[in-house]
Structure 1
Amino acid sequence: MQIGIDQLAFYTPKTYLDLVDLAHARGEEPDKYRIGIGQSEQAVIPVTQDAVTLAANAAVRVVDDTNRDKIAMVLFGTESGIDNSKSAAIYLKRLLKLPDNIRAVEIKQACYGATAGVQFAHDYVRLHPDKQVLVIGADIARYGLKTPGEVTQGGGAVALTISAEPKLLNLDDATAFRSEDIMDFWRPLYRTEALVDGRFSENVYVDFFKAVWQDYQQQTKLTIGDFTAFAFHLPFTKMGLKGLRAILPEASEDQQKQLMTNFEASRQYNRQVGNLYTGSLYLSLRSLFDNADLKPRQRIGLFSYGSGAEGEFFSGTISDAFDVQASRRWFTDFFRSRQRLTMTQYERLFSQQLPDHDVLLDLSHDDARFVLTGIKHDQRQYLDRGE
C-alpha cells in the first residue's frame, strides 16, 4: 500500500511587490536581488489575512464533499500563530465545516512544522488507510522595512491531503532527520518581525542538508543517481541552489544538467511569491510538478529545514495517477491577475497591523473567499464569503 501526497494546493493574496522597484528604492542593483538571492517578486499580505485565512483559502481547493468526512486530522504547521493557546487548526476546522470527530492541532518548529505534519500524517494513514489527513503550512514572513531581510519577505499557505494510493507522490518510508539548539533565526513573542543571523543561517542550512543526505544514503544505499529532482525549503531560492551544489559533484555530467534544469522548474513559483516559511518546500514541490518534465515512478528528494534548528531529508516516487494540468492553469491565471504595488502602496500595506483592541477592518481591497473582518471582545472574527 502506497501512502503520500494526494493533493497539493496553494494560496496567497494577489498583491505583490516587484523587487526591481524595491532595489531602486533601497539604492541597490536589481541583480543583487534577482540573481544574488534568486527572487523577482514577493507577496504582500494585507491586514485582512492571517495564518488562518491563508490556510482556509488554500484548503478549500483540496477539501470538498468528496473527502470532507474522510479527514481524520488537521495538522497546522505555522510560526505565525494567532493565539498562544488556541490552535489555528481549530479555527480552520470550523471554516472548512469539517466533522467534530477529528484531531486539530498546531505544530511549531520554525519552517519545519508542516513537514512534521506530513510525517505524522503518513504514519497515521498507514494505520487507517480509509482516512485522510489535512496538512497545512501557512505563514507571513516579516523582517521589517529597510532591513537586510526585507527582500526575503512574503507569505501564503499550502494545503496537502495525505492519503493511501495518492495521486501525486508516494512517500518512501526512509527518512533522515537532525536537530540542534542553534540561534540562527528566532521570533520573540514581543516582536512582530523576525530576527536572523543571515550568513550563519545559510551555513547551518547547508550543513544540515549534507548531514541528513549522508544519513539517508547510509540508510537506503541509494545515491544521487537514483533521483530525478530535488525540492528544497526555499526562504529565498538561491538558498536551495547552494544546497544542491553541495552534492552535485556526486552526479554524472548529464545528471547534473538534469538536476539543475529541474531545480529551475522547482523554484519558479517561489521566485514570484517570496518566503512562505512552513510552506516554502511544498510550493517548491508544486512548482517542480507543474514546470518540469516528470514521469510516474521517478524519485524526488525533499529537504525540509526549520531554523533553530531542525532538518529532514525524505523522498517519494511520482504516482502513476500524476496529472498537473489543473494546477498549471490555476497558477497561470493567478499570476496574470495579480496587482503590482507601488513602493508607497507596499509600505502602507506592510505597516498596517492588527491592533490589540476591538476593530472592524475594511474589506474592500481583499477579494478572497475567507477574510479576517476584525476583532470583537478580543476574538478574531472570520468571514466565509462562499456561504
Structure 2
Amino acid sequence: MKILVISQHFPPEKSGNASRIFDMCSHLQKMGEYVTVLAPHPSFPPGSFKRKWSVFESRKMNDVNIINLLAWQPKSQDPGFVGRMAYYLSFPLHAVIWIFFNFRKFDVIITSAPPIFTGIGGIPAKLIFKKKWVMDVRDLWINASISLGFLKKGSLFEKMSRVYEQFCYSSASLICVTTEELGQDIVKTYKNIDKNKLRITPNGVDIDLFYPMETPKKNQIIYAGNIGHAQDLEDVILAMKKVNEHFDLKFLIVGDGDIKGDLEKVARDNNLMDFVEFPGLISREKIPKMYSESLMGVAPLKKLKTLEYAVPTKAYEYMACGIPFVGCGEGEIRKLAERSGCGMIAENSPDAIADIILYLLNNPEKQIEMGKKGRAFVEKYYSRKQIASDLKSVLECIEFEKPNPIMSDGINYARSQ
C-alpha cells in the first residue's frame, strides 16, 4: 500500500504525538508499505525552532518520505487565538493543495488529530479522489478546549467545529481511537456514527528504545513531555514542599510548552527552585536513561470529565523503563494504573500527591515490584511495533474491502487487553 499520513507534529519536534507518528510510520515502512508524511516545518513548541518560509522541503527518516509544507509558525510561547488558528489552519489547507497535485501517489490517507483541522486533507482525498480515509483521533479537542477555557461553549466557532467534525466522522472509512472511552464519547457526541468504523489503537511505546537501563538511581522523580494546560503540574510542584520535609528529592520537568514559564514562577514564588528543575527540551534518545535513574514518573492530568478518555504517552514510557508512575485524573488513566499494577492515582491536590510519593519512597520494594509489572504489561499489550502490525492488517481490510471483525460493543481493539 501507498500510505499518506497528515500530522501537525513530526520529529525533530519532541511531542508525544510526533514520536508516535514517527514510530508508526517507521514500522509500517519496514513491513513493506510505502509511507509519505505531510507535516509543517518544525515549530512546536512555538519559538523553539527557527522559522522557515520555503513552500516545501522533502527528506527521509528511516526510509519514510517526509514533506514539510509551509504553514504559519507562531513565535510566542503561548500564542493567542488568532496565532493558534493560523498555525492550525494554514497547514491542512496547504496539504489540500498538495493532495490535488499528488493524489495518484497514494491509496490510503491517515489524518492524525489533534488538532482537528488535519481532517481537512481527508475530505477531498475521500470524496473527490475516492481514497480510503482513516481518522487517527488522539484527543477530544473541542471538549478539552472548552473545559480548559480556550473555547466558549455555545459559541459560533464551537458550533462550526462540531458540524465539521460530524462531517469528518461520517465520511471517514475508519476511525482509530486511543482508548475505549474515547470511542464511546465520539459515538455519544455525534449522530449516526457507525460503531463498526471504530478501532482502538493505543498510543503505546517503543519498547526497544524505552527499557530499564542499569544505571544508579538518583533522588529524583520525573515528568517528560509537553508542558501544557491539561497537566496538573502545579500541584506536583507544590507537593514537593511536603515531600522534602522527609526526603531530599528533586522533581525534573523535562520539555517545553505553553505553561513552562508559569510553572517556573510557581516554583520561585514558593521557594521551591532547589527542589524543582526545568532541563528544557532533551533528545528522545536520552530520555530512557533519565527515566531509569529516576525513582518514579508522574502523569498528572487535571480532573476534568473531558480528559477521562486520556492516557498520556509518558505513562507507557515510565512503565517500559521499569519505574512506577503517580497519576492524577479519572477514567482511562486510573484503569491503566489498576490493570498494569504499575501506577497509583492521587487526588488533584498537593497533599494527596505528596502522600502517594512519600508512600512509594518509604516502600522501595513496592517501587521495584510495580516497575517490573509495568515493563511486562507494555511488552504484552503496548509495543508500538505490534500496534503498527495490527494497524497494517486493518488498513489492508479497508483497502481491499475485506470484513473487519468487531467486538460485541461495536469497538475494535488493536490488541486484546
Structure with more of its chain in helix, by fraction: 2
TM-score by length of 1: 0.31
Higher RCO, 1 or 2 (CA under 8 Å, sep at least 6)?
Answer: 1
TM-score by length of 2: 0.29
Structure in which a larger fraction of residues adopt strand: 1
